Amino acid sequence: MSTTLEHAVAEAGLTGRGGAAFPTAQKLAAARENNAALIVNACDGELDAAKDWFVVSRHLAELIEGARAVSPTVSFAARRGSATLDQLSDAGLPVLEIPDRYVASEESALVAFAHGNDARPVTRSRPLVFGGRDANGRRLRPTLVLNAETVWRIAQILHNGPQWFRSFGTPAEPGPRLVTVAGAVRHPGIVETEAGTPLSHLLRIADAAPYCAVNVGGLSGGYLSAPEISRLPWETAALTAYGCTTGSGVLRVLGRDVCPLEQVTRTLERAASESAGQCGPCMFGVPAIASDFASVAGGDRRSLARLQRRLALLPGRGACRFPDGVAQHLAGALRVFGAELDAHLSGCCSAELDRHAEPEYDTDDDGHAYAS
Ligand code: SF4
């Protein structure tokens, strides 16, 4: 890899499209200095995510070109049983078949898996682009992990230049972006967009049904109410105040006809089954809050204080950020669905009422309807 590539990527302002949004040029410099291998993460690891599949199925040649510009030693990671895996394999590329579990596609879990270990996060004192050790003390070679969209963007910057890239988005978050829109929409799938785009516009493209809220960022993200959606843009600076980020690029629309607490319960139960079983707070804490939330949603008022107490204990205590993400998800649900929780504790459910009533609709700035 040349320093020219790093300069072009730095000038473009590309940040990682997999979640953490770290400046890609800094990662590339560390990879070059340490002669790091590259793993292209095409696992679509976040709930509902499909943009890695989109990049692989629509832009494979550019993806390969971008990867080879970064490192001479490249492998691709995709979930076992996925269409993405089939497409990468059919193209004759070296592919890591990652177990279909949430934390298995975490960066250090991919590096561990590439070295013959289980796909579980590894405790590390610095990024694995500098190398590290697995749980048994064996050496891990310096390895850079980049999300598939990030690698595709590198190829685009090589072709079109940094100024083209910066003609999209905002000065703080330049470049085109992919967003997966799922849930109560008539056209689920990938939207090609940029930072600063109104969220309501993204939902209109997907033809969202009347909704009560939107999950922004999947399991590690938060929730926005319908009025918040109508006034906020797809932009990190605007969304962080609400516990949401643009990181993984996922929007799940929660239709008005389903109980949001049921959805949150299912998501937390999924999270409880996903722990890699290495850290106590994660192994026991996540199932405990999932159970507490289910009890509260079922009308058990006594569980609420215990849920809040346990929630405060969860962040910052795992070897990876999985429990932090779950805590953020739950905090977002409690913020947006507080009134719904009160209703459940009083023996009501607004979705149940809605199923039997003609809803009234407000419209947002784009004329899109949401239930008021
Ligand atoms: S926090 Fe959970 S998922 Fe992360 S390493 Fe520990 S047990 Fe595994």
Mean pLDDT by groups of 10 residues along the chain of 372 residues:
85 90 93 96 94 97 97 97 97 96 92 93 86 88 97 97 97 96 95 96 93 92 94 94 88 92 94 82 90 92 92 86 92 92 82 53 47 40
Q: What is the pLDDT of residue 243?
A: 87
Single-letter code of the amino acid located at 287: P
Best probe residue, ligand 1, of 113, 270, 275 (max atoms within 8 Å of C-beta): 275
Best probe residue, ligand 1, of 120, 122, 270, 274 (max atoms within 8 Å of C-beta): 120
- What is the chain's alpha carbon radius of gyration, rounded to the nearest angstrom? 21
Strand 361-363 to 222-225 pairing? unpaired
Cα–Cα distance between 110 and 99 in angstroms, integer?
10
Cα–Cα distance between 231 and 203 in angstroms, integer?
13
The reply to whether 232 and 200 lie within a common domain is yes
Name the domain boundary from 117, 135, 165: 165
The reply to whether 159 and 83 lie within a common domain is yes
Q: What is the pLDDT of residue 245?
A: 81
Q: What is the pLDDT of residue 361?
A: 44
The reply to whether 265 and 321 lie within a common domain is yes
If you measure from the C-alpha of residue 313 to the centroid of ligand 1, how many angstroms do you get, rounded to a whole number?
15
Which alpha helices (DSSP H) does the chain contain, by range?
Answer: 3-12, 24-33, 51-58, 60-70, 83-90, 107-114, 148-160, 162-166, 199-205, 226-231, 236-239, 260-272, 280, 286-297, 302-313, 322-336, 338-345, 350-355
The reply to whether 68 and 217 lie within a common domain is no
Contacts of 305 (CB under 8 A, 6+ apart): none
Closest protein CA for atom 4 of ligand 1:
320
CATH classification of the domain holding 324: 1.20.1440.230
Domain around 327:
260-348
Name the domain boundary from 139, 165, 191: 165
Ligand 1 atom nearest the C-alpha of 283 is 7
From the CB of 121, is ligand 1 less than 6 Å away? yes
If you measure from the C-alpha of residue 89 to the centroid of ligand 1, how many angstroms do you get, rounded to a whole number?
29
The reply to whether 269 and 243 lie within a common domain is no
Burial status of residue 188 (CB atoms within 10 A of its CB: 0-12, 13-18, 19 or more): middle
The reply to whether 33 and 158 lie within a common domain is yes
Count of domains forming the chain: 3
The reply to whether 174 and 151 lie within a common domain is no
Whether 149 and 176 have beta carbons less than 8 Å apart is answered as no
Whether 306 and 300 have beta carbons less than 8 Å apart is answered as no
